[in-house]
């Protein structure tokens, strides 16, 4: 699976904090992808709000594994996706808003 589709899966159920639009493939721009570091930009197509996300210590393969694990244990966990993890991550990512570009050389 491509990095882009993995990131899109990560962003499912996330909305633009300004206009509540959902993100799609066109919203995502991968800035850096290497072992243990995945940096991408998410831009709302509707209101153009833009923010950066960095996945540290996780490359796209590990991201895919994590996403697959979430989907494969719905019978154990009533929640189909572990939203807590996503929300925690989202909070962390939001902190990068102002300085996220420093992760990009």
Would you tell me which residues interact with Zn ion (CB under 5 A)? Answer: 16, 18-19, 21, 44, 46-47, 49
Measured from the CB atom, is 14 or 37 closer to Zn ion? 14
Q: Which is nearer to Zn ion, 49 or 90 (CB)?
A: 49
Q: How far is the CB of 42 from Zn ion (least distance, A)?
A: 10
H/E/C letters for each residue in 22-61? ECCHHHEEEEEEECCEEEEEEECCCCCCEEEEEEECCCHH
Question: Residue 18 or 35: which CB sits closer to Zn ion?
Answer: 18
């Amino acid at each position: 699976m491509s990095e882009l589709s993995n990131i899109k899966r990560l962003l499912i159920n996330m909305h633009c904090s300004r206009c509540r639009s959902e993100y799609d493939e066109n919203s995502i721009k991968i800035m850096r992808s290497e072992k243990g570091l995945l940096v991408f930009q998410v831009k709302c197509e509707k209101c153009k709000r833009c923010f950066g996300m960095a996945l540290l210590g996780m490359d796209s393969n590990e991201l895919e594994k994590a996403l697959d694990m979430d989907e494969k244990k719905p019978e154990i966990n009533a929640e189909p996706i572990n939203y807590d993890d996503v929300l925690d991550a989202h909070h962390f990512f939001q902190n990068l808003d102002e300085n996220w570009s420093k992760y990009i050389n």
